[in-house]
Amino acid sequence: MLGFRGVCLTGIGLLCIISHVFGIWLDWLDPQSFRSAMSRLYSQFGRRIRLLSGAMLVAVAMCLLPVSSLAAGAADEAAQGGKGRFHYEYVVQDGDTLYLVAKKFGVSMERLKKWNRRVVGRKGKLKVGKTMKVYSNVPIRPKRTAFYVVKSGDSLYRIAKKLGCEIGELKKLNAIRNSVIQPRDRLVYLTDAPEKVSESVGYCFNGKLINGEKLPPGPGYTFGHRPNIYGTNETITLLLDSIARYRRKYPDGPIVVVGNLSQRGGGKLDPHKSHQSGRDVDLGYIHKKKFQPINHMMATNEQNMDVRKTWYLLETLLKTEKVEKMFIDYKIQELLYKHLKGRNYVERYLKKLLQYPRGKNADAIIEHEDGHHHHVHVRFVCPDKDKRCSN
């Protein structure tokens, strides 16, 4: 558990203790009554041995303390920023392998093993029913396990193409050698497809949400105790991907405060006019660190807003090309406009994005709406497959 460094230091420490005790013992000897040449020799060095070994003992103890106080796994967690950070939990299912779980979460097998020494058996086998931990500073959307039954005429290449995965991954997941597969073989694969497929129906101000997906807890954002955090699968993916990008850019930046999305089944959500069909989400602006609230929205202005970080998050969302509208107070649009002008954004692009300085009725993706000085409202377009959804 201590590792090589710990074992070496422990060894040196033990030697120090022995020599320290030996030094004290030599001090106790009376060289007059113990008249051998050896005792006279040691009596000269007894005090020195004791002092030297005492000093070494203190030094070794100081080196050893951080090693022994952290178990190997915990030390790795600390090295990766794991200790005290957000971790995802995963219950091991029958048939799971270290490779499969690592691929699910997009982490290396080495890290996964270090974080879960008690769950991983000697030969890398996982203990079914045990909970594994995956530490992360950015939101992860874990993949799901799915199965495919081989049909006659199938090749691994064709199956991989159909399922949207790599041949190598398919082979490793199923321990296939020499690419030999037989009809009716049941192959495991990993998919991004949601467990329940959501559907946005109608308009965002008069609609509903079928199989709404709940925003899961994760690193880099908070939704406090809000219950109305259901969206379409696409909304949840776009939101988590954008927060992950923001988080990678500003690992120590303030976390994102997420407000309401929709109710589980959509429909009217007071006091909002929209937020009915799983495509709307409110996000707090990013504030300068000393002003950043923990889990609520706050009135935002030139003094407390971190314009650069806010814009990074908004631009990340806009770059998905899935944003239909954003509602942002006109005064905050001015702050964004000045920031972007300073960064030499071209006027044509700014005109497409912002109403400022053309007035609150100008045509742009980002529009003024009263009440949006403490949060930005983001509306995503209808998912392509949701034919009953109206933009």
The residues near 244 (Cβ < 8 Å, ≥ 6 apart) are 138, 139, 140, 220
d(CA 132, CA 61): 33
Q: Please, which residue, 130 or 296, has the CB nearer to Zn ion? A: 296
DSSP track, 111-150: HHHHHTTTTB-TTS-B-TTPEEEEE-SS-----EEEEEEP
Strand-pairing partners, residue 87, are: 135
Phi, psi of 189 (to 5 degrees): -145, 170
Omega within 30 of 0 (cis) for the link into 271: yes
246: DSSP letter = H
Query: Nearest distance from residue 77's CB to Zn ion, in Å?
Result: 38
> Which residue's CB is nearer to Zn ion, number 165 or number 283?
283
Distance, CA of 129 to CA of 178 (rounded, Å):
32
Distance CA 195, CA 213 (A): 9
Nearer to Zn ion by C-beta: 107 or 256?
256
Question: Could you give the CA distance from residue 327 to residue 354 in angstroms, rounded to a whole number?
Answer: 10
Number of Cβ atoms within 10 Å of the Cβ of 186:
9
Please identify, using beta-carbon distances, which residue of 100 and 376 lies nearer to Zn ion.
376
Residues making contact with Zn ion (CB under 5 A): 282, 377
Residue of closest CB approach to Zn ion: 377
Residue 206 C-beta: closest distance to Zn ion, Å: 15
Q: From the CB of 128, what's the least distance to Zn ion, in Å?
A: 44
Torsion over CA of 360, 223, 230 and 378, rounded to 10 degrees? Answer: 20
Q: Cβ 271 to Zn ion, closest distance in Å?
A: 10
The minimum distance between CB 175 and Zn ion, in angstroms, equals: 49
Taking the least distance from each CB to Zn ion, the nearer of 114 and 377 is: 377
By beta-carbon proximity to Zn ion, the closer residue of 124 and 227 is 227
Q: Which lies closer to Zn ion via its Cβ, residue 136 or residue 277?
A: 277
